[in-house]
Structure 1
Amino acid sequence: MQKPLAHLARKQGALRTILQHNSTREQLAKQIHRNSLTDSLSILENSGYTGDTAIFILANLQTLEVGA
């Protein structure tokens, strides 16, 4: 069963809003898909998101299944 297009648009829109650079978005999506949380947090921190904010963003992106 395919996911609805609206769900896919939310996932892509969330990443675009958070990270401006294509390569960074791709790296983050790949790390989330691999469940590599430490690397995902490092990417977010290098993009200026630290501490609880980075954890909050990561948790929400996982909920949206960005890496899937």
Structure 2
Amino acid sequence: MLLKYLLDNKGIVLSKLKILDNVWGYDFYGDENIVEVYIRYLRNKIGDNEYKTIQTVRGAGYKVNTNDK
């Protein structure tokens, strides 16, 4: 679900709160750092060791870049 949401919004910077609301739901009462944990899991799964596909935008959130040619 997280990967699909990121890909549906590729090129758009998404805040942790926006990701939480859309992936985990408004009624999620856990820590927002769960987003960081799952972003790290995704990066490991797709081999994004240099953070080029899922970029961290400091102070803003995360953004997905794809090479659509």
Q: Identify the TM-score tier after normalising by the shorter chain.
A: 0.3 to 0.5
- Structure having the higher strand fraction is 2
Could you state the TM-score of these two structures normalised by the residue count of structure 2?
A: 0.34
- Structure having the higher helix fraction is 1
